[in-house]
Amino acid sequence: MEKVAQHDGIVTEVLQGTVRVQIHTVSACASCEAHSKCGFADSKDKTMDIDTPLWQQYHEGDPVTVTVAANRGLQAVAIAYLLPSLLLLSIFVTLTTLHLSEGWVALITLLGVALYAGTLYLCRHRLQRKFTMTITNKN
């Protein structure tokens, strides 16, 4: 059975084909007895748009559960952080070994990362289909 990550939330808006859900996330240290003293406890409200063909069955204020496959989260981290970091490092090392000036190395490295970000932007619809979330009523 595939592992999933689940978050409870509240429907804030229902649009045609999309349900907007607000999720309250709390860091692990928020449950610590000393969290009010140390200042590291972090809690945020996040809003997510979830595409669903069953959007008509949801209403503003409904408690829902949002589910995503856990392995998709790791893939998202790799695409958002790991790959651009490796790209930046590899371009930098390659250009440095070619003895280009520091200015050119910096410029070409930043352009490489910008090209990666642009490619992600152009592929955003394909990525949205790959990283789908499901929504279920808690009632």
Instruction: Tell me what pLDDT residue 44 has.
Output: 74
CA–CA distance, 10 with 47 (Å, rounded to integer):
10
Query: Residue 94, Cα to own-chain centre: how many angstroms?
Result: 30
Q: What is the pLDDT along the chain (139 residues), one digit of tens a residue?
A: 567 778 899 999 998 888 999 988 766 555 565 555 555 555 678 888 888 888 899 999 999 998 887 777 788 889 989 999 999 999 999 999 999 999 999 999 999 999 999 999 999 888 877 877 888 887 6
Its domain, for residue 104, covers: 4-137
Instruction: Tell me what pLDDT residue 63 has.
Output: 93
Query: Per residue, what are the HEC states of 41-84?
Result: CCEEEEEEEEECCCHHHCCCCCEEEEEEEHHHHHHHHHHHHHHH
Q: Which pair of structure tokens corresponds to residue 36?
A: 């009010």
Q: Which amino acid is at 22?
A: Q
Q: Based on the structure, what is the number of domains in the chain?
A: 1
Q: Is the sign of the CA dihedral 30, 136, 46, 3 positive or negative?
A: positive
Regarding pTM above 0.85, the answer is no
